[in-house]
Structures are given as structure tokens and as C-alpha cells.
Amino acid sequence: MPGGSKLLREFGESTVIHRVVSTALSAGLDPVIVTLTHDETGVEEALTDLDVRFARVPESPEGRRISAFAGIAALPDEPVVAAMILLGDEPGLSPDDVRTMRSAWEANESGALRPRFRDRAGHPVVLSREALEVIWHFDRALDPEIGLWDLVIRAGIPHMEVPIDRLAPVDVDTPTDLALAREMERH
């Protein structure tokens, strides 16, 4: 996005990333780990008022899924039964969406889950401890742009979609996307 980090763009009374992290925290996720690439300066400072941990994403040919790997590696040593992966550029995700996914996980407790909004599948994705381990050790020689959900399917991890009866939050990649996300927020 021209003009600096999309994560630091104004959204409501805060920024895009602050909204996403606040959503995770208000929905009861703990710990919340924010993954940062080398060029995402300012994000850590924008979140100083929130109880989060940070994980640095190494430069890697592994493409977009390397952020998920960095977050998985930063999970605490104590037993983790699952991880929920939210995108930092979807500020329209609601605490209710996160709680819906958490409730679906608690009813199932295996494999992988992702929401099915009215218009498309999306995030947050929930991965069981077993799924995290399989994905962590899965063949990293695959195309680096293969997404996390595609890895779930290729690895044969049991998976399902959880219906959420609303339009999916906007993935903010351009100024037009940001304007649409702000407009959806107002309505």
C-alpha cells in the first residue's frame, strides 16, 4: 500500500493492527502473538498499551506462510491445545467472529477450522496442536505462496468450515480496500 504500512493506517479510533489485536484480546485469546517482518516498523510501538508478545519473521523464501511459522515457533512451552491465526490486515473481524470460532473448536477439538462467511471462506483459522505439528514439519520445499489452508488440505489434516452469517471482513491491501472496510464499519 502506498504511503507506509497498511497496519498503521487509521481505523476507527485506532489503527488497523490495533483493532485486530484488540479484537483478539477482547474475545479472550491468550497469549496473543503478533508476527512482524523486518520492514514493519512502528507496529510494536502502536501496540504498547496491549498485552501482546512479538515474534520476528525471518527473511525467507517460504513466502506468506512464514508468518504463521514464526507465530507457531513463539508459542509458549506450556501445553498449547490450539492456535487461532488472525490476519493483521482484517480490522473488520469482530470479537463475536473469534468467539464463534473458539466455540466451534471447543465442540470439536481436532484438526483445523476456518470460517465460511456468506461471501467466502476466510480467517481466523484454528489449528489443533497436532495440526500445528504436522504443518511445522510439512515439506517446506513446496511453492512458497501455498497458503496455510492449502497446507492443511495437502497434509490430510481433518478440517471443516464454520458458518458465520455475515459478509467476510475486508482484507486491507489497497487504499480502496481500506475505504471499503471503513464504510462497512460505519454500517
Cell numbers at 63, concatenated: 513466502
Average pLDDT over residues 16-40: 92
Number of domains in the chain: 1
CATH of the domain at 98: 3.90.550.10
Q: Quickly tell me which residue has 473481524 as its cell.
A: 93
For residue 62, what pLDDT band results from cuts at 50, 70 and 90? Answer: low
For residue 47, what pLDDT band results from cuts at 50, 70 and 90? Answer: very high
What is the residue range of 66's domain? Answer: 6-171
Question: Residues of the chain with pLDDT > 90: what percent?
Answer: 59
Asked whether residue 34 is domain-assigned, the answer is: yes
Asked whether residue 179 is domain-assigned, the answer is: no
Asked whether residue 86 is domain-assigned, the answer is: yes
* Rounded Cα gap, residues 167 and 186, in angstroms: 14
pLDDT of 64 higher than 70: no
Average pLDDT over residues 7-31: 95
pLDDT (0 to 100) of residue 65: 67
Average pLDDT over residues 75-82: 77
Percentages (nearest 5) of helix, strand, coil residues in the chain: 40, 15, 45
Average pLDDT over residues 38-50: 88
Nearest partner of 132 among 115, 116, 152, judged by Cα:
152
Asked whether residue 63 is domain-assigned, the answer is: yes
Residues near 164 by Cβ (< 8 Å), separated by ≥ 6? 97, 100, 115, 116, 117, 118
pLDDT (0 to 100) of residue 145: 66
pLDDT (0 to 100) of residue 122: 93
* Rounded Cα gap, residues 69 and 55, in angstroms: 10
Per DSSP, 63 falls in state G
Asked whether residue 79 is domain-assigned, the answer is: yes
| Residue pLDDT, tens place only, 129-175 | 888 888 777 655 566 667 788 888 888 999 999 999 999 999 999 99
Asked whether residue 185 is domain-assigned, the answer is: no
Q: Answer for the pair 113, 128: CB distance below 8 angstroms, yes or no.
A: no
Asked whether residue 182 is domain-assigned, the answer is: no
Cell numbers at 10, concatenated: 487509521
Asked whether residue 108 is domain-assigned, the answer is: yes
| Residue pLDDT, tens place only, 87-142 | 999 999 999 999 999 999 999 888 999 999 999 999 999 999 888 888 777 655 56
